[in-house]
A and B are shown apart, each in its own frame.
Chain A
Amino acid sequence: MGKENPAAEKASNLLRSRLCDPNFVVKHLSDSPDSNYSSVTEACNNSILLLGPRGSGKIAVLELILTDLLLEYPDTISVIKLNGLLHSDDCCAFKEIARQLCMEHQLLFSKMASFDDNSQFMIEMLRECGLAHKTIIFVLDEFDLFAQGKQRLLYSLLDAMQSVTSQAVVIGVSCRLDADQLLEKRVRSRFSHRKLLFLPPSKEDMQRLLEHILSLPVDSSLPHAYAVEFNKKIKNILADGRFKEIVNTLVNLDSTVNHLLRFLFLAVSYMDLESGFLSFENFKTALSNSHRQPKLECIKDCSILELYILVCMKRLEVKEQNSYNFNSVMKEYKSIHDSFQTSDYYSRNVCLRAFEHLLQRELICFTDNRGYSQSVEFRPVKLLISSIELHQGLKSYCSCPVILLKLVER
């Protein structure tokens, strides 16, 4: 056992670092947009929009391509990155562009430069770089946020690409599918209408990706026999029908690659370091932990009296009493006790304490924000959990009184 421990730890570390590194995943999946390459090599201006839901790897693919390009053509590319959340105001955006250009070319940047100066500077830099055959790549993250307001930045960037003297590429990244409909018509006319859609991977791709990520490299510093055994076990798990069901449940909710990676990370963290192998139970625990239901967990911690109070409030709601307060809940509680002769009947003060507990745990809350002068008993309250959640919580509560279940089911 002692010998396997370091290997297992190493394996787990390796897998975890793989899952955190977007490049590893993306390299396996991607087919890179070649238009970027052509713009650099043939010196023609281009613009492109990358669209796709959040977490589908758009920025990861972009980073991959940029690093490749920088390796291939080290001196002829400069990259300017802007983010719509930070720089959606035109003045800010131009300032940031000027600052990044200054940093790239080791010029001094003055914070006092006006909007005019900054835009002039950008246009001149574009011209200079065009003459020197250097390409400037503008990456606009959260592209749809740039399309608010007067769209001056977008217009000037796209207009600059219409002139022969500049050599630039504008790459917009957005999660809104109609990002190009948000543009004004003259800006849209200058945009070259290329869109790249990032769709979630198909089932076969997903299968291949899982295998690729979870298989240990056979010829690394890990002991050979261990790695081979590990890979064999992984193959068995992946082929298992129950595992496919787990992946299906996961994918039916959110099919982006990011979501899948987070699930895998959880599973790897649960790996049993003693045996050093991933097992099917790890994945099951990971699934249940990634789909947490905080309100259900809250209910599990409630006392029986608190459950009674919740059920009373539910019954009041079902009776279509729109607003009720602690006093009405108490009345209902008493009526239940009278009709069913339950053994759990507590005094009013104890109930009030339980009520306050529920308020603190945010299972119920006040409906009005005023009325601090009134005492707790008179303010209207409402439930913060749905009937289904209450039902599920009661069912999974150990030693729940049968009467409560009956009352809720009615």
Chain B
Amino acid sequence: MPAIASHNSIMAVKLENAGEVARSNGGSTPQKRRLRSDAAAVENMSPISTPMKLKSPRRCANSSPNSGANGIEMEINEKLMSARKSPVKKKLCDSFKSKPNWNPQDVEQMSAVREALHVSTAPSTIVCREDEQKKVLEFCKKNLEEEKAGSLYVCGCPGTGKSLSMEKVQHYLVDWAKEAGLQQPEVFSINCTSLTNTSEIFSKILLKLQPRKKLNGSTSPLQYLQNLYSQKLHSSVMKMMLIIADELDYLITRDRAVLHDLFMLTTFPFSRFILIGIANAIDLADRFLPRLQSMNCKPLVVTFRAYSKDQIIRILQERLMELPYIVFQPQALELCARKVAAASGDMRKALSVCRSAIEILEAEMRESVSKMNSASAEQGLFDQQAASAFEFFNSQANNFFLLLVRVDHMAVALSNTFKSPVVDTIKSLPQHQQILLCSAVKFFRGGKKDMTVGELNKSYMNICKTSVIPPVGTLEFFSMCRVLHDQGILKVGQSRDDKLKRVTLKADESDVTFALQGVRFFRNCLQ
């Protein structure tokens, strides 16, 4: 927008174009018209597919200032054409038909969007996890009906929706039991990180089961529970209990007793537990519960796979569906989903990237507003035509893609999240520390594994000699090594004598070479 504001002539032409487009399309609201024509244009031109290029819309707008009435339409078509076609996009286009763009300067809208994308807002329906939820529900329903005990193990990478799905399953189950007329199960959900002592889990279970029971000193809670479930008691006394244990691997101790006993509790003849354990390791059940397999009571394993690109897009859309306006350009969402799915399939990361993309857009708007204000202050006078054009643009601000979160915002957000700060830091290190790193890289290229500080010092002084830079003294050298160790670029071992400490390079050699390639001296040095 500041670029447009500074060229009065271009603005005038654009005004005409916008007006002409509006008139030629029959006088209905320009925004709807344009989008439908865009969708139509995409369908017409679908056989032509160009590789995905990230062109900024501002550049497109300036590239043809004097084109005719179809100028703007052509530019927008170009933009849409340059993105790859996918079935998701058609759906997005349809959904976009009816919604206006958002106004990022409206504080309420901004906070609503932020909330919709926050990790803590649990959506009302969980998409893309229907299969897994069905499996778990079926298992629990079967066990509830038959009043049998059973165990289930849910595993998967972090951020795949395990705890969220289990919460939903819990609610469904209670409702279903009520409808089906069965006795409602007790629900006990615990996160195993909150236990100081792993065997406390049994006392907590007992507390939930029989709140008023006081144990005498000789029986531990575990023994009491084991006794309880070995005898047949009246069924009205014993309700079914659903235990959801999150982060199960915190229960793993050296002798693996607690985990084992917990799962064994479900194998007792009169046990009333349905145990659902949640953890990250896929083979936890095999590694730590071998005896259960021999008893034929191995827990059912439900794996939550990492999200694929389409699933991520669907989930993001679901979240944004409730908002009455569009926030993201569809290509931006796709880029985010693609990158996150390729990296880890972690939904939290995708949400965090989207939120930071919004913040980048916000910062850009603020900068452009302040630039415009300063530019107008500098100019002093504002053309009559320009002023009216400016107002027109402001009111029609919803029409422009400039206000959506675009692909370039998303690209910046992605690089902020995925990039490691090592390269930037190495680039901005003081010169002597860079020479130190250089000498370390050269040394380790020879295939040696580690060196002492004294050898590093010698190598450093050799490089300084070749380039006529006065080397620093030994004290400063040691403190430079220490500084680099603190930052995690070098690793300096322990020794009584400073000179004998062993040094290894922690940063990647290619990172160092990449970071220092801008300086000719280092480039020659590292060849």
- Residues in B with CB closer than 8 Å to A186 are 158, 247, 280
**A388–B506 alpha-carbon span in the complex (Å):** 30
CB-defined interface of A26-55 with B at 8 Å, one 1/0 digit per residue?
000000001100100010110000010110
CB-defined interface of B466-485 with A at 8 Å, one 1/0 digit per residue?
00000011111000100100
A253 touches B476 (CB 8 A): yes
Min CB gap A8→B, angstroms? 33
Count of chain A to chain B residue pairs whose CB atoms are closer than 8 Å in the complex: 128
**A189–B487 alpha-carbon span in the complex (Å):** 23
Contact of A162 among B120, B428, B476 (CB under 8 A): B120
**CB neighbors of A among B419-446 (8 A):** 420-422, 424-425, 428-432
Q: Does A92 contact B (CB under 8 A)?
A: no
**CB neighbors of B among A145-202 (8 A):** 150, 152, 155-156, 159, 161-164, 175-179, 181, 185-186, 188-190, 192-195, 197, 199-200
**A51–B420 alpha-carbon span in the complex (Å):** 11
B120 touches A54 (CB 8 A): no
Min CB gap A83→B, angstroms? 16
Given A42-B114, A54-B486, A293-B473, CB of A199 within 8 Å of CB of B424: yes
A195 touches B430 (CB 8 A): no
Smallest CB gap from A365: residue in B: B497
Q: Does A114 contact B (CB under 8 A)?
A: yes
- Residues in A with CB closer than 8 Å to B428 are 199-200, 255
- Residues in B with CB closer than 8 Å to A193 are 349, 352-353, 417
Given A186-B280, A189-B346, CB of A252 within 8 Å of CB of B432: yes
- Residues in A with CB closer than 8 Å to B476 are 253, 291
B424 touches A155 (CB 8 A): no
B483 touches A159 (CB 8 A): no
Chain B interface mostly: helix
Q: Does B191 contact A (CB under 8 A)?
A: yes
- Residues in B with CB closer than 8 Å to A115 are 196
Min CB gap A208→B, angstroms? 18
- Residues in B with CB closer than 8 Å to A178 are 420, 422, 488, 506
**A195–B420 alpha-carbon span in the complex (Å):** 9
**A37–B159 alpha-carbon span in the complex (Å):** 27
- Residues in A with CB closer than 8 Å to B119 are 162, 190, 192
**CB neighbors of B among A261-304 (8 A):** 291-295
- Residues in A with CB closer than 8 Å to B480 are 253-254
CB-defined interface of B350-364 with A at 8 Å, one 1/0 digit per residue?
001101100100010
A199 touches B425 (CB 8 A): yes
Q: Does A342 contact B (CB under 8 A)?
A: no
Count of chain B residues near A, Cβ 8 A: 54
- Residues in B with CB closer than 8 Å to A152 are 193
**A115–B196 alpha-carbon span in the complex (Å):** 7
CB-defined interface of B165-209 with A at 8 Å, one 1/0 digit per residue?
000000000000000000000000001011010001000000000
Q: Does A386 contact B (CB under 8 A)?
A: yes
B430 touches A189 (CB 8 A): no
- Residues in A with CB closer than 8 Å to B424 are 197, 199
**A29–B238 alpha-carbon span in the complex (Å):** 67
**A159–B120 alpha-carbon span in the complex (Å):** 10
Q: Does B489 contact A (CB under 8 A)?
A: yes
Min CB gap B224→A, angstroms? 20
Q: Does A316 contact B (CB under 8 A)?
A: no
- Residues in B with CB closer than 8 Å to A179 are 488
Contact of B118 among A44, A175, A189, A293 (CB under 8 A): A44
**A106–B14 alpha-carbon span in the complex (Å):** 64
Q: Does B335 contact A (CB under 8 A)?
A: no
Min CB gap A130→B, angstroms? 10
A54 touches B111 (CB 8 A): no
- Residues in A with CB closer than 8 Å to B338 are none
B430 touches A253 (CB 8 A): yes
- Residues in B with CB closer than 8 Å to A164 are 120-122
B475 touches A293 (CB 8 A): yes
**CB neighbors of A among B447-499 (8 A):** 461, 472-476, 480, 483, 486-489
Contact of B193 among A156, A194, A294, A386 (CB under 8 A): A156
Min CB gap A248→B, angstroms? 9
A35 touches B359 (CB 8 A): yes
Min CB gap A287→B, angstroms? 13
Q: Does B157 contact A (CB under 8 A)?
A: yes
Min CB gap B464→A, angstroms? 11
A294 touches B111 (CB 8 A): no
Q: Does B348 contact A (CB under 8 A)?
A: yes
B474 touches A386 (CB 8 A): yes
Min CB gap B492→A, angstroms? 13
Q: Does B138 contact A (CB under 8 A)?
A: no
Smallest CB gap from A193: residue in B: B417
- Residues in A with CB closer than 8 Å to B194 are 116, 119, 156
A255 touches B280 (CB 8 A): no
**A190–B160 alpha-carbon span in the complex (Å):** 12
**A194–B356 alpha-carbon span in the complex (Å):** 8
A195 touches B416 (CB 8 A): yes
B488 touches A177 (CB 8 A): yes
**A140–B228 alpha-carbon span in the complex (Å):** 46
Q: Does B115 contact A (CB under 8 A)?
A: yes
Q: Which of B118, B355, B483 has the most CB of A within 10 A?
A: B118
B421 touches A155 (CB 8 A): no
CB-defined interface of A126-155 with B at 8 Å, one 1/0 digit per residue?
000000000000000000100000101001
Contact of B487 among A161, A163, A175 (CB under 8 A): A175
**A156–B196 alpha-carbon span in the complex (Å):** 13
Smallest CB gap from A167: residue in B: B120
Given A163-B120, A177-B420, A251-B430, CB of A53 within 8 Å of CB of B352: no
**A255–B426 alpha-carbon span in the complex (Å):** 12
Min CB gap A348→B, angstroms? 30
**A34–B362 alpha-carbon span in the complex (Å):** 11
- Residues in A with CB closer than 8 Å to B487 are 53, 175-177
Smallest CB gap from B418: residue in A: A193
**A209–B366 alpha-carbon span in the complex (Å):** 26
Min CB gap B350→A, angstroms? 11
B422 touches A45 (CB 8 A): no
Q: Does A389 contact B (CB under 8 A)?
A: yes
CB-defined interface of A355-381 with B at 8 Å, one 1/0 digit per residue?
000000000000000000000000000
Min CB gap B109→A, angstroms? 12
**A34–B488 alpha-carbon span in the complex (Å):** 27
- Residues in B with CB closer than 8 Å to A114 are 196
- Residues in A with CB closer than 8 Å to B121 are 164
A389 touches B421 (CB 8 A): no
**A150–B489 alpha-carbon span in the complex (Å):** 24
Smallest CB gap from B366: residue in A: A34
- Residues in A with CB closer than 8 Å to B196 are 114-116
- Residues in A with CB closer than 8 Å to B120 are 44-45, 161-164
Smallest CB gap from A189: residue in B: B158
**A124–B476 alpha-carbon span in the complex (Å):** 50
**A144–B149 alpha-carbon span in the complex (Å):** 44
- Residues in B with CB closer than 8 Å to A42 are 110-111, 114-115
Give the 5 A-B CB pairs with smallest separation, nearest first. Answer: A189-B158, A176-B488, A252-B431, A255-B430, A186-B158
Give 13 A-B contacts (CB < 8 Å), ordered by A residue.
Answer: A38-B359, A42-B114, A44-B120, A53-B425, A54-B483, A155-B247, A161-B120, A177-B487, A252-B430, A252-B432, A294-B475, A386-B474, A388-B461
Further 10 A-B residue pairs, CB within 8 A, beyond A189-B348, A195-B421: A44-B120, A177-B425, A177-B487, A186-B158, A195-B416, A253-B432, A255-B429, A293-B473, A294-B475, A295-B474
